[in-house]
């Protein structure tokens, strides 16, 4: 209970400073999980069941200024649900669990070594896969300065904003002329994106996670010149380059030839 109260205090204090323009971001695998708005309230109940969600849900609840009573009720309910599901699963699968324990006792160290080896191999493979992908991204990124110079030189790269509508509402600015192709809608816009022009993707995620995912999708569909913007929109703004308000953003179907 003390941990819950302490978490709420931190969240409310932090949330009070963040206000309506808060955006909580978590990098996963190398993608991102962004849960905003009303969905964050319900997410507290299932936070322990989704990897990473337990970290993002309480701070977001504080940012949204959920009341003490409601937060404590949801957190308590979530804890009871987490424990209850575990107890129910143990009760339901009691014969199977006992059989597994008996077999493990028979094989002892050998079984533990095999399980440990399998787990180590899986973790190693996922680490290698992630490292390989991040290495490709480091080689393929473009800096804000390079993009600015490219635009000034008349190269006319296609700049694509891959942020979700909710993320764009929290930061309602964009790089001038940027198209809006959210990560969730990339497949629908593939036929509208030109293959003979350089495509620059940006977001506001840690390590350009959403832009990286879109870059991988486009590369898998044969696009050759695709690069995420290093540092995303935040880096572009920090460099002092022009931005414009997000009003009616053009989509990929409105690209000029």
What's residue 17's pLDDT?
38
**Residue of 140 and 13 predicted with greater confidence:** 140
State how far the Cα of 36 lies from the Cα of 58, in Å rounded to an integer. 12
What's residue 41's pLDDT?
59
What's residue 132's pLDDT?
76
Determine contact, residues 161/181, Cβ cutoff 8 Å.
yes
Work out the average pLDDT over 111-124. 88
What's residue 251's pLDDT?
54
What's residue 3's pLDDT?
40
Tens digit of each residue's pLDDT (9 = 90 or more) over 182-225: 989 999 989 889 988 999 999 998 888 889 889 989 988 989 88
Helix (H, G, I), strand (E, B) or coil at 29: coil
Lowest-confidence region among 101-110, 123-132, 208-217, 230-239: 101-110
What's residue 130's pLDDT?
80
User: Does residue 232 surpass a pLDDT of 80?
Assistant: yes
**Residue of 75 and 137 predicted with greater confidence:** 75
User: Does residue 8 surpass a pLDDT of 70?
Assistant: no
Lowest-confidence region among 5-9, 56-60, 167-171, 172-176: 5-9
Closest C-alpha to 174, from 186, 162, 190, 189: 162
Stretch (H or E) spanning 164:
none
User: Does residue 144 surpass a pLDDT of 90?
Assistant: yes
Helix (H, G, I), strand (E, B) or coil at 173: strand
What's residue 159's pLDDT?
96
Determine contact, residues 41/79, Cβ cutoff 8 Å.
no
Strand 26-28 with 31-33, pairing = antiparallel
pTM of the model: 0.52
Helices (H), the chain: 2-18, 39-46, 53-63, 68-92, 94-107, 109-140, 144-152, 165-170, 186-189, 209-220, 232-238
Work out the average pLDDT over 116-137. 84
Choose the most confident range, by mean pLDDT, from 24-33, 67-76, 138-147. 138-147
**Residue of 119 and 97 predicted with greater confidence:** 119
* Whole-Å CA distances, 39 to 69, 168, 189, 221: 18, 17, 27, 33
What's residue 30's pLDDT?
37
Q: What is the mean pLDDT of the chain?
A: 77
3 burial type by CB count under 10 A (0-12 exposed, 13-18 middle, 19+ buried): exposed
Helix (H, G, I), strand (E, B) or coil at 178: coil
């Amino acid at each position: 209970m003390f941990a819950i109260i302490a978490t709420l205090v931190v969240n409310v204090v932090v949330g009070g400073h963040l206000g309506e323009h808060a955006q909580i971001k978590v990098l996963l695998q190398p993608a991102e999980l962004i849960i905003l708005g009303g969905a964050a309230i319900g997410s507290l109940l299932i936070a322990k069941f989704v990897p990473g969600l337990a970290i993002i849900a309480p701070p977001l609840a504080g940012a949204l200024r959920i009341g003490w009573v409601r937060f404590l009720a949801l957190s308590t309910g979530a804890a009871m649900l987490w424990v209850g599901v575990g107890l129910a699963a143990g009760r339901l699968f009691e014969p199977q669990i006992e059989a597994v324990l008996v077999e493990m006792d028979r094989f002892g160290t050998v079984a533990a070594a095999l399980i440990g080896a399998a787990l180590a191999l899986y973790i190693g493979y996922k680490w290698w896969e992630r490292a390989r992908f991040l290495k490709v991204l480091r080689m393929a990124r473009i800096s804000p300065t390079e993009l600015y110079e490219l635009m000034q030189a008349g190269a006319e790269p296609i700049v694509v904003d891959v942020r979700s509508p909710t993320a764009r509402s929290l930061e309602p600015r964009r790089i001038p002329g940027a198209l809006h192709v959210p990560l969730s809608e990339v497949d629908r816009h593939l036929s509208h994106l030109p293959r003979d022009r350089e495509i620059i993707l940006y977001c506001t995620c840690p390590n350009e996670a959403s832009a990286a995912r879109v870059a991988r999708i486009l590369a898998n569909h044969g696009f050759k010149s695709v690069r995420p913007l290093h540092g995303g929109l935040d880096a572009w703004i920090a460099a002092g380059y022009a931005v414009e308000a997000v009003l009616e953003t053009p989509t990929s179907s409105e690209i000029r030839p």
